[in-house]
Amino acid sequence: MNIIDSRRRRRTRGVQASALLAGLALAITSCGAPEAAPPGQEGSGGGGGGEGETVTIGVGGQTLLTYLPTTLANELGYYEEEGLDVDLQDLQGGSKALTAMIGGSTDVTSGYYEHTIQMQAKNQPVKAFVNMNLSSGLALVVSEKNKDTIKTVADLEGKNVGVTSPGSSTDMFVKYLLSQNGMEIDAAAVSAIGAGSSAVAAVEQGQVDAAVMLEPDITVLGKRLGTEPTIIEDVRTLEGLKEVFDAEAWPSSSLYATADWLEQNPETAEKLATAITRTLDYIAEHSGEEIAAEMPETFAGGDPAQYAAVIEELKKTLSTDGAFTEVGAEAVLKTQRIANPEVGEADIDLAETYTNEFVD
């Protein structure tokens, strides 16, 4: 057994059985916030997250590349080195992870920053305390059957656009693009196609006219088609982010918790933030191949070279310091005000939706 294999076997205690089946069917399902905080969810429970206790983190899909730093920090042993016993719970969806935290069965969520804005609109204070990604990584992909007729967002009128689920970030992206192009936000219908293999199949087989997709699903689709997919809007790069959102950053994957938990556990929050920022440093200093070698082997889905290549591309949009910016937060709020009626004109205090006190 080589050193990498030995390290990997020691560190995979937080990987859930469902991840073993996921393979390269990885895509973000960053769903909308739940209507209310339900009673306790099924799961291991989070304890208090206090000093020396287990901290339970609900991950909105542990194999999803947007949450790679959360898992990589565990694989590198950084949580343990910070004096924490972190239990990663794979909840396969941002809304499920959020619901579990609000219900009390986890302490912290590895999910999308936009959830903190959605929850403030519901008068439920949730705050993000370390940022992992500067972009949502979304792209509007046209199915092969429509590549000659859908060339702009305006061509989506009356068409069927695939999203992970209604109310998700993918859905919000469609509505934002329609509005920015002078159209009603319901000018195009949306259909839930899920993520991973189901999303790839829906676009490949023409079940939808277009779809909002993420990596590595876009790469997997291209491999299946034997050609580059047709893309008409793309925020996978910082250049595309500037063009679509007129912002230098659009914070997405983050660690967040209830305001009460943060107030009661500031030292634990700081240790978690430190572990994540150390991981972001590691990512910046290592190649996609080296990072892939530290991740659970099954996450590569049998194609480690492709997995490493997609990670290499992901590095370009990851945060380097874990901090949120006011401009980035405002860009997310702008999207929510346009695309999410529950946020709309609600009184949102962005200063209460994130903090940099644990990464400064």
Residue 71 reports pLDDT greater than 70: yes
All structural domains of the chain with their residue ranges: 3-135+251-352, 139-234
pTM across the whole model: 0.78
- Name which residue leads in pLDDT, 56 or 21: 56
Which contiguous run of DSSP H or E holds residue 238?
A: helix 238-245
DSSP summary character for residue 26:
-
pLDDT at position 1 = 42
CA 244 – CA 60 distance, rounded (Å): 25
Nearest to 240 by CA among 132, 137, 320: 137
DSSP string, 106-168: -SEEEEETHHHHHHHHTT--EEEEEE-BSS---EEEE-GGGTTT--SGGGGTT-EEEESSTTS
Amino acid at 219: T
Question: pLDDT, tens digit, for every residue of 276-297?
Answer: 999 999 999 999 999 999 999 8
Residue 223 reports pLDDT greater than 90: no
Q: What is the average pLDDT value for the chain, to the nearest integer? A: 85
Determine if the peptide bond prior to 69 is cis (ω within 30°).
no
Residue 209 reports pLDDT greater than 60: yes
Do residues 130 and 273 make contact, with C-beta atoms less than 8 angstroms apart? yes
Compute how many other C-beta atoms are within 10 angstroms of the C-beta atom of residue 315. Answer: 16
DSSP summary character for residue 185:
T
Question: pLDDT, tens digit, for every residue of 259-273?
Answer: 999 999 999 999 999
Question: pLDDT, tens digit, for every residue of 103-152?
Answer: 999 999 999 899 999 999 999 999 999 999 999 889 999 999 999 999 99
Domains 3-135+251-352 and 139-234 share a fold: yes
Where residue 31 falls among pLDDT bands split at 50, 70, 90? very low
For tokens 């073993």, the residue is: 20
Q: Do β-strands 108-112 and 230-234 pair in parallel, antiparallel, or remain unpaired?
A: unpaired
- What's the CATH class of domain 139-234? alpha beta
User: For the chain, how many residues are written?
Assistant: 360
Nearest to 174 by CA among 208, 126, 134: 208
Which contiguous run of DSSP H or E holds residue 78?
A: helix 78-81
DSSP summary character for residue 83:
T
| Six-digit token string for 178 | 């329609």
The rounded percent of the chain whose pLDDT value lies above 70 is 85
DSSP summary character for residue 32:
P
Cα-to-chain-centroid distance, residue 79: 20
CB-side neighbour CA atoms (13 Å) of 69: 32
In angstroms, what CA-CA distances link 350 with 76, 112, 138, 335?
33, 15, 23, 14
pLDDT at position 195 = 77
Q: What is the CATH number of domain 3-135+251-352?
A: 3.40.190.10
SS3 (DSSP) at 239: helix
Do residues 229 and 204 make contact, with C-beta atoms less than 8 angstroms apart? no
CA 275 – CA 202 distance, rounded (Å): 38
| Six-digit token string for 212 | 């909002």
CA 213 – CA 132 distance, rounded (Å): 19
